[in-house]
Structure 1
Amino acid sequence: MSSTDTLFSDALFSAALAAQARAHAPYSRFRVGAALRDEAGAVHAGCNVENAAYPVGTCAEAGAIAAMVAAGGRRIAAILVLGDGEALVTPCGACRQRIREFAAPHTPIHVAGPQGVRRTFTLDELLPASFGPDNLA
């Protein structure tokens, strides 16, 4: 990883960690933070927001994507998802599809725990042979 990649990865980790601390997870108590870098290099973060009506909650990745779009970003250059526990906290299926809307197959998806990045996948590894905007062109 180049020093620029490390710098961006550190910025994503810091933003995801701050977002995770603000998560609204009174039911599961499982806080998740996510941060992404858009095509202009801006960082956008989100956290999970649970709701007493469980299907109405929002994932951290969805929050970060919404923040990016609201700020004018249109492409995800990289994304980091941060969760506690021993298991890797990868994006859920719905969030993989949300990421696909704004990312290329080679886009890095960093999966992190409290101490840092645990593993990096490409979008294509997590969502192979996916359906996306180009299918509707």
Structure 2
Amino acid sequence: MDIWETLYEKAKKEYYPTEVTPFIYAHHVVSALESENGEIYTGFCIESCSGVMDLCAERTAALNMYMNSGQTVIKRIITFRSEAPEGLGGMPCGACRELLLQFSPKNKDTEIMVDYQKRETITLEELVPNWWGWSRYENQ
């Protein structure tokens, strides 16, 4: 079993779309990531009628990693609905891209699964080539 299959299987366990209340829907998009030290963390999307409460699966996985280990560097991440990503299906949204880059400059090298069957990935830096925050890292 390769690392992508491991990540897929861990994320898949989180997939069980649930209407938590008439206002909150969860577990309909899932994610798993591999941290810098090789640990795996999962997350799921949670949406509410109040948009400010919404969290994507990638962000909950990243926050889970940080809250449970203090880590901020992500080596790999996979995100999907009911099936593994195919084509450009597993792309993180702008808010997720932003959080991952703000967590660590090393996350520019995070591999994002694009096509699970082909094992095609893209890096976060390829998705956000001219990120506004690089100068803040340079000034540290």
What is the TM-score when the length of structure 2 is the normalising length? 0.75
Alignment-derived partner of residue 74 in structure 2: 76
Distance 1:89 1:78, change over 3 A: closer
Distance 1:127 1:16 in 2: 25
1:10-49 to 2 correspondences below 5 Å: 10-21=5-16, 31-49=28-46
1:1-137 to 2 correspondences below 5 Å: 7-21=2-16, 31-72=28-69, 73-84=71-82, 88-101=89-102, 102=104, 103-111=106-114, 119-130=120-131, 131-132=133-134, 134-137=137-140
Q: Which protein shows a greater Rg?
A: 2
- Structure with bigger strand share is 2
Alignment-derived partner of residue 3 in structure 1: none
Distance 1:9 1:89, change over 3 A: closer
Distance 1:37 1:76 in 2: 6
Residues 105 and 123 in structure 1, CA contact (< 8 A), matched pair in contact too: yes
Distance 2:60 2:38 in 1: 18
Residues 24 and 48 in structure 1, CA contact (< 8 A), matched pair in contact too: no
Residues 62 and 95 in structure 1, CA contact (< 8 A), matched pair in contact too: yes
Distance 1:136 1:68, change over 3 A: farther
Which one-letter code corresponds to 1:16 in the other structure?
A
* 1:5-39 residue CA offsets vs partner (Å, 9 max, x unmatched): x6211111111211232666877889211111111
- Which stretches in structure 1 are left out of the alignment for 5+ residues? 1-5
Residues 11 and 30 in structure 2, CA contact (< 8 A), matched pair in contact too: yes
Distance 1:31 1:119, change over 3 A: farther
Residues 37 and 43 in structure 1, CA contact (< 8 A), matched pair in contact too: yes
What percentage of aligned pairs have identical amino acids?
26
Which one-letter code corresponds to 2:14 in the other structure?
A
> How many residue pairs get matched?
130
Distance 1:128 1:17, change over 3 A: same
